[in-house]
Structure 1
Amino acid sequence: MTVNGSVALVTGGNRGLGDRFVRALLEAGASKVYAAARDPRKVTVEGAIPIALDITDPAAVRAAAEQAPDVTLLINNAGTSLGSPVLKGDPDTFRKEFDTHVFGTLDVTRAFAPVLARNGGGAILNVLSVLSWLSVPDIAAYCAAKSAAWSITNALRLELAGQGTQVSALHVGYMDTDMAAAVDAPKTDPAEVARLALEGIDKGLYEIIADDVSRQVKGGLSAGVEVLYPQLAH
């Protein structure tokens, strides 16, 4: 899969990382870029094709697949970050996080997988997080949803390999976007993340690690719970 000459669709393409993906795709030579958003009027990138899409609305997902039958690269970027703790959090918040990151992303992938197959296989990039691998109690709903999305991504790799569809996952920590505006911590430039992700797609990488914190956490997965959560060390 090469980004140059591809026909791409980016969910959540109106702001933050999604906006940077749209810009990076055009700069990398994508022949067409659909920028999908719940309100397509908020897509501001010149040269992009705005398309209405709420990924939690199955009818809207089906309509988007019909409107973009030439897609060869799907970037599942749309997300929420509602912040809900594991014990006292609102159950509806957990459901909303899963409706977006898990069920919504899966619905979009199911709708576009046949499109990709008809167009030669293509590729899918799922925007995950370092929190696919690490849980933070105060935002446990988000972490759990991203972890589930990681598991589904692994399954999709296997299931879509037969039709020649490359499935990649992007893992990254805090980025300098509206979603993380209230966070007082080092943040990565989303434009750089988008650039690295597209390079990873061109290289055929299954996992694209965009920052040091994600590399460190991934390295700790095999080292035991006490390494990832030092507060539990005896």
Structure 2
Amino acid sequence: MTGFESEVILVADASSRLGELFVDRFVAAGAGRVYAGGRRRREWPGDRVVAVEIDMGDVHTIERAGVAVQFDTNVMSSIRLASAFALSQAALWSATNALRVEFAPAGVQVAGLVLGPCEADAHPATVADRALAGIAAREHEILVDAFSKQVRARLSGPVACMYPELGSP
């Protein structure tokens, strides 16, 4: 797979099996540099992967990673803000859209990968392949499974469609 030549990529959780696959796939797809985040730094083969310590529960590691990846203040502030709240799926979609609009003028692509409730490690290769294909195709939202597609379709409907337990008025 190609399409990421010379791109700089950040994989925030490269310590999971799915994260490892993302790192491997981005390198194979020609990424110029992949920053591989995780709670514990690990060694990666080759010179295009840089291990960075990122613990999403520790703002200091997020800030250090931001410096390493050369994100500007606005990006890091947005990431810190998003990680400071326990976001619901709809709120995360909204935050992703806001980031997408803010960074578009700078040529930064923000793609939201959406998975239904599942154990991500049960099918990481499928998820990774779909994600990379979606990013390469410049998709804004990458819907991996039927559940995520159903949720996305219901977001534009009435609140009761999203939350049937509320009943209809």
What's the TM-score once normalised by structure 1's chain length?
0.56
Give the match for residue 108 of structure 2.
Answer: 165
After TM superposition, the structure 1 = structure 2 runs for residues 206-221 of structure 1, keeping only pairs within 5 Å, are 206-221=140-155
Cα distance 1:213–1:5, how it changes in 2: closer, same or farther (>3 A)?
A: same
Cα distance 1:227–1:35, how it changes in 2: closer, same or farther (>3 A)?
A: same
- Alpha-carbon shift at residue 193 of structure 1 (Å): 1.3
Distance 2:113 2:78 in 1: 14
Distance 1:228 1:147 in 2: 10
**Amino acid paired to 2:99:** L
Equivalent pairs, count: 158
**Amino acid paired to 1:213:** F
The answer for unaligned runs of 5 or more in structure 1 is 72-102, 110-140, 179-186
Give the match for residue 90 of structure 2.
Answer: 147
Give the match for residue 24 of structure 2.
Answer: 23
The answer for unaligned runs of 5 or more in structure 2 is none
Distance 2:23 2:148 in 1: 23
Cα distance 1:26–1:220, how it changes in 2: closer, same or farther (>3 A)?
A: same
Of 173, 188, 194, the residue aligned with 2:128 is: 194
**Pair 1:46-2:19 in alignment:** no
3-state DSSP of counterpart to 1:147:
helix
- Alpha-carbon shift at residue 177 of structure 1 (Å): 3.6
Cα distance 1:14–1:211, how it changes in 2: closer, same or farther (>3 A)?
A: same
Distance 1:233 1:62 in 2: 44
**Pair 1:106-2:79 in alignment:** yes
- The C-alpha deviation readout for 1:143-170, integer Å capped at 9, x for no partner, is x444332221111122222222222211
**Same amino acid, percent of matched pairs:** 35
- The C-alpha deviation readout for 1:109-149, integer Å capped at 9, x for no partner, is 9xxxxxxxxxxxxxxxxxxxxxxxxxxxxxxx96x444332
Q: Is the 8 A contact 1:168 1:201 kept in 2?
A: yes
3-state DSSP of counterpart to 2:57:
coil
Distance 1:231 1:59 in 2: 40
After TM superposition, the structure 1 = structure 2 runs for residues 38-187 of structure 1, keeping only pairs within 5 Å, are 38-41=39-42, 46-47=45-46, 48-69=49-70, 106-107=79-80, 144-177=87-120
Cα distance 1:231–1:59, how it changes in 2: closer, same or farther (>3 A)?
A: closer
Cα distance 1:16–1:105, how it changes in 2: closer, same or farther (>3 A)?
A: farther
Give the match for residue 156 of structure 2.
Answer: 222
- The C-alpha deviation readout for 1:164-191, integer Å capped at 9, x for no partner, is 222221111134446xxxxxxxx6x122
Give the match for residue 7 of structure 1.
Answer: 8
